[in-house]
Amino acid sequence: MLWKEGLSTDVNSVDQQHRNLIREVEAFFAHVHAGADRLFLVEGLDRLIEQVADHFAHEERVMRNIHLPGLAVHEQLHRALLDEIREFREEMAMGANNHPAADIEHFLNAWLYRHISEEDQKIFQHLNRP
């Protein structure tokens, strides 16, 4: 996944965090494809989960500050993704992960792109409403 200006929310801090998350997800999957060991990947997921959680908290503060409608639903989407990533992390840590790396990569990339392009674009729309 690559950053495109059409993904901008018009909030510099949120956009910068989105760019960083895209880079981190891509770097994580480069390690997956290079055959990194399970412990290294679990540690990478721990870092990614921390970054995603920090980003979500920041994004939710921004949304509260601009009085974005639908914040509760957005927060639920954030929690659901974090739960899914944490579940995947636990499966990987226990050696019980049956998901091919390509499936997980597709899931994270598709979710991240869809979330930014659909859900987070509501920030842009709210800030630029007539």
Residue 70 lies inside a defined structural domain of this protein: yes
In a domain, 104, yes or no: yes
The b/e string for 73-91 (b: 16+ C-beta within 10 A; e otherwise) is ebbeebeebeeebeebbee
Give the HSE-up count for residue 20: Cα atoms under 13 Å, Cβ half-sphere: 13
How many domains does the chain contain in total?
1
16-67 pLDDT tens trace: 999 999 999 889 889 888 888 888 988 998 999 999 999 999 999 999 999 9
Residue with tokens 């290294």: 40
Residue closest to 108 by CA, chosen among 60, 44, 65: 44
Residue 2: inside a domain = no
Position 107 pLDDT exceeds 80:
no
Owning domain of residue 91? 13-118
Provide the whole-model pTM. 0.89
Say if 31 falls within a structural domain. yes
Of the candidates 73, 75, 70, 23, which has an alpha carbon nearest to the alpha carbon of residue 48?
23
Query: pLDDT by residue (tens digit) across 54-103?
Result: 999 999 999 999 999 999 999 999 999 899 889 888 888 888 766 666 67
pLDDT over 90 at 3, yes or no? no
Inside any domain, residue 124: no
Which CATH number covers residue 22? 1.20.120.50
